[in-house]
Amino acid sequence: MRCVSDPKERMNNKNLILSDRYELIRPLGQGECGSVFLVRQQSLEQYRAMKRFPKNTSAQPLFAISEAQILKSVQHPGIPTIYDFEEDESFYYLVEEYIQGDSLEEFLLHQQSISQNQFLYFCEQLCDIFAYLHTLRPSPILYQDLKPEHIIVCGTQLKLIDFSVASFAAISGKDFNHFGNVDFSAPELISGKPVTLRSDIYSIGKIMEYMMPYLDAATNRSIYPKIQKAISADPDLRYESPQALYSALKEVIETTGRTHLRQTIAVVGNHSGCGATHIAIALVTTLNYLGISAVYQEKNWSNDLRKTVAQLKHVWEKNGCFFYRNFTGFPKYDSGIEIPEPVAQIMVNDYGCDFSFSCLATADHIIYVCGGALWHRDDAKSKDFLLQNFGNRLHVVANLCDHNSAIYFARTFSQPVYSYPFNTDIFRADKEKLDFVHWLQQPEKGRNRLFLRFINHLFRLLQP
């Protein structure tokens, strides 16, 4: 586009605003506080983002003035530059740097995974932005409303946008504006309790947690304790600064390295009695039969493993672990009871139907067992918010289901579903169980099974 310089053209161009200094190009977005437009600064022929806040409500002017005050006081490569703040009889106008890129939410939707280095680089930039805001003098800035939509990925650079609810933290005991969002803001902010700079630490931790499904499980197992500290409900237990959070994260990643000496499989179910324990025990039995050392760990309080072995003969126990044929497994113990660290290539953790995000994020592979009864179909969908974004790490199993139920689960989770057949002897490695193990590592399903990389060879040897 060319600059509109002719006076007659200016008079006829209805898109010119603010004394003809800016030309409206197109809308960029609409929010609760106002609208955002792409504009062109006429004299410099530069594109800008213009936020327009209506004056007809009591809240919008406060947002506009607050964001203008915040942005004019900062200068950081990860924060948009403010160029102009104007008003007319109907609106406030905030003109700032036009940021081109995808939100973090959009960026991750197009990724099957992100590397450890990319994750660490994103965390470094995010913590650097907040370290800058929190150490501004004379008045640190509390952002309050961090979420993936407010983080823009511009190539390799992160930009933090939308400072409309940010606050200066100059005066101790000041009453901040309590806004934020339920998913990523600190509990004290949502509940209206006093907020501090550590409220932003919580939000940074939640963003890191949001990225975990795109990381490998080995990395997640090393970083999750650090993220848990950042998102502690008690502000005093969180890191004291963004720098401290990033340093802890970097140290544990560098110390742990990218080791894959042990793989973890999480077995979870959509309802009690769906067969998650049955499949977990059968999987351990079959893996050990194939010569791949595997250990079952009961991670729920059903006490099903003890009930099961009580019905068997020739079970022996050593150091809290049960051994029977090709099966090796630990029942659930109270936290005060010390048991030896299991030694195996594969850990199969049986969480039953009571599982959390951390159980899934720290697992290399997730087996989600869905029962076949019609009245339990909605139970499968109720956990969808926890299971989304795990991509090829998630395997859906329809246990004792008819063909229609298997199709229903395949459509619900948009991926292949394994129909697990009726099988009574969970401690015997038969053809049905070998078929299941073989299915787990099928490359044509888009799955890369590092933990079963030599099963194909063994499976072929075992075929008649």
Looking at the structure, do residues 215 and 269 belong to the same domain, yes or no?
no
Q: Report if residue 451 sits inside a domain.
A: yes
Looking at the structure, do residues 78 and 165 belong to the same domain, yes or no?
no
pLDDT of residue 9: 47
Looking at the structure, do residues 386 and 271 belong to the same domain, yes or no?
yes
pLDDT of residue 424: 83
pLDDT of residue 278: 96
Give 458: exposed, middle or buried? Use CB within 10 Å, 0-12, 13-18, 19+.
middle
Q: Report if residue 1 sits inside a domain.
A: no
For helices 116-134 and 242-256, angle between their N-to-C axes, nearest 10 degrees: 160
Domains: count for the chain = 3
Task: For residues 432 and 290, give the distance between their C-alpha atoms in angstroms, rounded to a whole number.
Answer: 14
CB 366 within 8 A of CB 268: yes
pLDDT of residue 116: 87
Q: Report if residue 2 sits inside a domain.
A: no
Looking at the structure, do residues 177 and 322 belong to the same domain, yes or no?
no
Looking at the structure, do residues 301 and 370 belong to the same domain, yes or no?
yes
Structural domain that includes position 168: 102-256
pLDDT of residue 458: 45
CB 295 within 8 A of CB 346: yes
Residue positions counted in the chain? 464
Q: Report if residue 36 sits inside a domain.
A: yes
pLDDT digits (tens, 9 = 90+) for 407-456: 888 888 888 899 998 888 999 999 989 999 988 876 544 444 434 444 44
User: Coil, strand or helix: which one is 284?
Assistant: helix
pLDDT of residue 455: 46
Q: Report if residue 79 sits inside a domain.
A: yes
Looking at the structure, do residues 174 and 79 belong to the same domain, yes or no?
no
Which one-letter DSSP state was computed for residue 165? T
Q: The domain that contains 199 carries what CATH number? A: 1.10.510.10
Q: Report if residue 81 sits inside a domain.
A: yes
Looking at the structure, do residues 214 and 241 belong to the same domain, yes or no?
yes
pLDDT of residue 287: 94
Q: Which residue positions in the chain have pLDDT lower than 70?
A: 1-14, 32, 57-64, 167-180, 256-261, 442-464
Looking at the structure, do residues 424 and 326 belong to the same domain, yes or no?
yes
Looking at the structure, do residues 312 and 403 belong to the same domain, yes or no?
yes
Looking at the structure, do residues 37 and 54 belong to the same domain, yes or no?
yes
CB 300 within 8 A of CB 294: no
Domain C-terminal end among 213, 241, 256: 256
| Alpha carbons within 13 A on the beta-carbon side of 438 | 15
Cα end-to-end span (Å), the chain:
72
pLDDT of residue 446: 42
Looking at the structure, do residues 70 and 112 belong to the same domain, yes or no?
no
Domain C-terminal end among 35, 69, 97: 97
pLDDT digits (tens, 9 = 90+) for 122-167: 999 999 999 999 998 888 999 988 999 999 999 888 999 988 777 6
Domain C-terminal end among 230, 256, 282: 256
Return the structure tokens found at 242.
């963004």
pLDDT of residue 257: 52
pLDDT of residue 264: 92
pLDDT of residue 180: 59
pLDDT of residue 253: 83
Map 406-424 to HEC letters: HHHHHHHHCCCEEEECCCC
Task: For residues 66 and 424, give the distance between their C-alpha atoms in angstroms, rounded to a whole number.
Answer: 67
pLDDT of residue 254: 80
Q: Which helix (H) or strand (E) holds 223?
A: helix 217-230
Q: The domain that contains 370 carries what CATH number? A: 3.40.50.300
Return the structure tokens found at 378.
């909605």
Q: Report if residue 308 sits inside a domain.
A: yes
Looking at the structure, do residues 305 and 190 belong to the same domain, yes or no?
no
pLDDT of residue 452: 43
Q: The domain that contains 27 carries what CATH number? A: 3.30.200.20
pLDDT of residue 7: 47
Best CA proximity match to 166, nearest among 184, 149, 146? 146
Q: Report if residue 341 sits inside a domain.
A: yes
User: Coil, strand or helix: which one is 301?
Assistant: coil
Give the amino acid at 11. M
